[in-house]
Structures are given as structure tokens and as C-alpha cells.
Amino acid sequence: MRPKKRILLIDSNETRQSVRRYLFITWGFAVLSAATAEEAREIAANEPLDLVVCGWPLAGADLGKLLNDLHAIDPLLRSLLLAESSIVAPEGVAAHAVLLKGACAPTEIRERARQLSARKRGPRKGCEQRLQPQAEVDHLMDMAERRIA
């Protein structure tokens, strides 16, 4: 059995957070919850995460600064912003995807979370490792010289 993807769910609204937590657990994710930006930073610093799901608006927090701080802790960490349908996401937010809560179905949120939490774990089986650009040019030149000779 493969390990569950770990999600950090950040939302200041307790009701929305509990509903989203239930949905993500039902969909097979391991969920860690935070109600404030400080809690989120602490969890991200201490726990390995695959995805951050953040509700917007987040009371008393600068969302752009929070996501930048989380990406500074783990540069490979992906983020999904769930915004209210009437509120436009603020400028300067480094989220990998923004979904409007009122304009998308829960299945769309699930699929986007699965796509974003998937990490590439090295080259695929049977594929050659890609050469560096200059090494690739040198390799092609050597092959061309061999054909001519």
C-alpha cells in the first residue's frame, strides 16, 4: 500500500476547515490543519508535506507572505488556493493553482489536489538520462564524424 499524500489545510473558518478536512480524508489524503499563518509555518517546518491547501480569505494573514515563507521552507511544496467566488485572489500570491469555491465541483478540487501532490521521483524506467546541452552537442558531433568516416 502506498503512503498517503500529506496535505496542510489552512483556513481560519472552523466550519469550512472541518468540511474540507473530512473531504480530503475521504479522498485518501493525510490532513494536517492550521487555523493561523503561524501554525502553518510551524507545521511546515516540522512535518514533510506534499501540498498546501489554503482558503482565501485568511483572517489576519498576508497570504502572499505566508505562501512565500512556506515555499522557502520547502521549494518543492505545491499550493492550491480555494478562493471565495466573489473575491479575487490578491496579487503577489505564488499559488500553483487557484480555484473559485463557488465555481468548481468538489471532484475538480480532488483532481487538482491529486495532480499537484504528485511528485516526480526520478527518470522513468527504460529512459536514458538526459545529457547536458553541451555534452549532447559533443555526442551528436562524434556520431556524425563516425558516420562520415
Please report whether residue 136 resides in a domain.
no
Beta strands in the chain (DSSP E): 6-10, 30-34, 51-56, 78-83, 97-100
- CA-to-CA distance for 46 and 117, rounded, in angstroms? 18
CATH number reported for the structural domain that contains residue 41 in this entry = 3.40.50.2300
Please report whether residue 126 resides in a domain.
no
Please report whether residue 94 resides in a domain.
yes
Please report whether residue 130 resides in a domain.
no
- CA-to-CA distance for 17 and 92, rounded, in angstroms? 24
Please report whether residue 67 resides in a domain.
yes
The boundaries of the domain holding residue 40 are 6-121
pLDDT tens digits, one per residue of 125-136: 544 544 445 666
- Predicted confidence band at 25 (pLDDT cuts at 50, 70, 90)? very high
What 3-state class would DSSP assign to 42?
Answer: helix
- Say if pTM beats, i.e. exceeds, 0.75: no
pLDDT tens digits, one per residue of 30-60: 999 998 889 999 999 998 888 888 887 777 7
pLDDT of residue 106: 82
Residue 69 is inside which H or E element, if any?
A: helix 63-73
- Percentage of the chain modeled with pLDDT above 70: 72
